[in-house]
Amino acid sequence: MDLLIYNGLIITMSKDQLQNPEAVLIKDNRIQAIGSYHYLRSIANRPQKIDLEGRILLPAFTDAHTHFVETAKHQLILNVVHQNSEQDFILCLANYRNNNPLQQWISGFGWDRATIDQRISHITIDRIFPDQPVTIVSKDLHSVLINTAAMKILGLNHKHQRGFLYEWDPKEIDKYRPPIEQDLLASLVTRLIQKCHKNGLCGVHTIEQQVDAQLLAKLSDSQNFYFTVYYYDYQAIFAKESSHFRNGGLKVFADGTLGSDSAWMFSNPKQVDNGRLKKIKRVLEFAETNNLQVAIHTIGDYSTMLIANILKEMKPKVQHRLEHLQAVRPEDLSLLKDIGIHASMQAIHIQHDASLIEKKWTIAKKYAYPLNSINKITYLALGSDSPVETLNPFAGIFYATHNCFEVLSLEDALASYTYKHHIVANQNRISGKIEKNNLANLIVINKNAFQEFNTFLDEVDITIIDGVIVHEK
C-alpha cells in the first residue's frame, strides 16, 4: 500500500530537493515522489494517509556509536548510576538483591571514578553479597569494581586496589562469568530495538564481539532495524551481511578515558602505552590488506596527535574513523583534514565531562569538544556511546547545539544524526535524506520539538522504517 504524508513541515535534509514541499509519497520501502499534495494524490494507488497537522517530518536518526548488545543486557543488571555515597550504594545493592531472582553471578554498571565515595570498596559489596561474585563496570566501561568472591574466581589478591580494577577489560571477566542464554538475549535486543523505534532511531553503529554480531545479524531483517557493526577482534569471523546488517570494520583503542584519568594528554605523556600503538599499527596494516575500515578510540590531545601521525605515515587507502575526539589541538586539525579522516563524537558526554574538564585539563579545556571545528574539516557523525549515555538522540542533539565548548547549528546536528553516519562508515546506503528513491526511513515529531529542550523529547509521534509504521504514539 502507498503511504501519503502531508500538511506539515517537511525537512528533507537535501539541498537539491524542492523547497517547502507539501507532501511525500512512499511506495513499498522507497520514497516515490516529493511535491504538491494534489499531484502526489493523483499518482498514488489508494494510499494510506498521514495528516501531519502541522507537525514535522524528517529522516529517521542513526546513532553512530553504541555498544548495543551490552545496552540490551543492561535491562537485567544492577544499575548503580548516581549512587555515589556509601549509604546510597548499599541501599541500591540491597534493593537489587531483594527484588531480583538469585543469580549465579551479579553484573552491574554505572559507578563514576570522579564522584564515587572513597569508602566504597569490595568490602561494601561483600556486606550485601558475601557469597556471590559481583562485578560492577564503571560508567565509562574502562574499569571494574569487584567483590571478594569475584576476586577469588579471577585469582586476584583480596586487597587488590580495594576491589577497583582500573583500565580493566571486562572481556577478561567474561571468561569466568556464565553467559546469558541466547533466547533471553535475543528478547532483550528485540525489546531495545522497540525502544529505539520509540526514540526515532532506525539504526545504530555498534561495537561488538563476534558472537553478539551474529545475533544482531539474525535479528536485523525481522526487526526493521539497521546495524553497522565494528568488531573488537580483528581476527573475528564476520557475520553474514544483509539488507539491514553491514560489517563496518574493526575497533581498536588508543588511550583510555577522561573519567578514569587515562586519556593520553600532552600534560602527562607518560601515560602513553607503546604496546597499544603497536597494536593499532598491526590492525591498520591488516585492515589495509583486507580493505576494512578501522574505528580508532582516541580521547586525549596527545593520543589524537599520535594517531594522526601514524595515519599520515601509513597513507592508507581506506578512510578510517576516529571515535570521541574530546580534545584536539588547533594545530592538529589541519593534519586530520590532510589525512582524510572521518569523525564520530558524542556531544551528550558534555553534560558530565564539562566539570571534569574544568578541573583536570588546564590547557586542553581551551580546545575540548571541538564539534564545529571537526565538522568544518571532515564528515562528523554523532552518537551516544550507549550504555554510557542514553540512546535518546534528542539529548545528543541538545548537547551538540547547547554547550560550553563548541556548538553545531541545528542543521549540522541533524545531518550528523541522519545521513552523515553513512559517509563516516564508508557506506553507499541511500537513506538519511527525503529524496526520491531513498529508503523510506522517517519520523514525525511535534512542531516544538527543537524549541522546548528543557525536557527532552523521549518519544516521537511516528516512526516509519522501510515504508512501514513501526511505532505510533
Which pLDDT belongs to residue 367?
98
Which pLDDT belongs to residue 347?
97
Quick one: average pLDDT of 429-435? 90
- Euclidean distance between CA atoms 110 and 116, whole angstroms: 10
Domain with CATH 2.30.40.10 in the chain: 1-60+433-473
Element (H, E) at 396: helix 393-401
In the numeric block, which cell numbers belong to residue 136? 560492577
Quick one: average pLDDT of 242-264? 94
Quick one: average pLDDT of 249-266? 94
- Euclidean distance between CA atoms 134 and 410, whole angstroms: 43
Q: Please say if the pLDDT value at position 430 is more than 90.
A: no
Structural contact between residues 312 and 393, judged by C-beta atoms closer than 8 angstroms: no
Query: Is the CATH number of domain 77-174 3.40.50.11540?
Result: no
Q: Which position has the higher pLDDT, 349 or 259?
A: 349
Please give the class, per CATH, of domain 1-60+433-473: mainly beta
Which residues have CB under 8 Å from 253's CB, separation 6+? 276, 296, 297
Q: Please say if the pLDDT value at position 292 is more than 80.
A: yes
> Pseudo-torsion of CA 359, 362, 366, 367, nearest 10°?
-90
Question: Over the chain, what is the mean pLDDT?
Answer: 93
Q: Please say if the pLDDT value at position 169 is more than 80.
A: no
* pTM for this predicted structure: 0.89
Please give the class, per CATH, of domain 181-431: alpha beta
Quick one: average pLDDT of 258-274? 91
- What confidence tens digit (pLDDT) does each residue in 222-236 have? 889 999 999 998 889
Residues of the chain above pLDDT 70, percent: 98
SS3 457: coil
Q: Please say if the pLDDT value at position 406 is more than 60.
A: yes
Reported as a pLDDT band with limits 50, 70 and 90, residue 33 is very high
Quick one: average pLDDT of 286-305? 97
The least confident of 137-141, 254-258, 419-423, 435-439 is 137-141
Quick one: average pLDDT of 83-103? 91
Which pLDDT belongs to residue 141?
82
Q: Which position has the higher pLDDT, 102 or 356?
A: 356
Structural contact between residues 360 and 259, judged by C-beta atoms closer than 8 angstroms: no
Which pLDDT belongs to residue 156?
85
Which amino acid does the sequence have at 235?
Q
- Euclidean distance between CA atoms 243 and 221, whole angstroms: 7
φ, ψ of residue 109 in degrees (nearest 5): -160, 145
Quick one: average pLDDT of 72-99? 92
Q: Please say if the pLDDT value at position 171 is more than 80.
A: no
Which pLDDT belongs to residue 308?
97
In the numeric block, which cell numbers belong to residue 170? 571486562
Give the number of C-alpha atoms closer than 13 A to the C-alpha of residue 296, restricted to the C-beta side. Answer: 32
Which pLDDT belongs to residue 114?
84
Domain with CATH 3.20.20.140 in the chain: 181-431
Element (H, E) at 297: strand 293-298
Instruction: Give the DSSP per-residue string, 235-249.
Output: TPPPPPPBTTEEEEE
Instruction: Give the DSSP per-residue string, 5-62.
Output: EESSEE----TTSPSS-SEEEEETTEEEEEE-HHHHHHHSSS-EEEE-TT-EEEEPEE
Quick one: average pLDDT of 263-283? 94
Reported as a pLDDT band with limits 50, 70 and 90, residue 179 is confident
Q: Please say if the pLDDT value at position 454 is more than 70.
A: no
Cell 528513491 identifies what position? 437
End-to-end CA distance of the chain: give it in Å, rounded: 21
SS3 250: strand
Beta bridge partners of 472: 462
- Euclidean distance between CA atoms 427 and 200, whole angstroms: 21
Which pLDDT belongs to residue 379?
97
Which residues have CB under 8 Å from 103's CB, separation 6+? 132
Q: Please say if the pLDDT value at position 76 is more than 90.
A: no
Q: Please say if the pLDDT value at position 19 is more than 80.
A: no
Do the bridges between strand 245-253 and strand 293-298 make them parallel or antiparallel, or are there none, so unpaired? Answer: parallel
Q: Please say if the pLDDT value at position 108 is more than 60.
A: yes
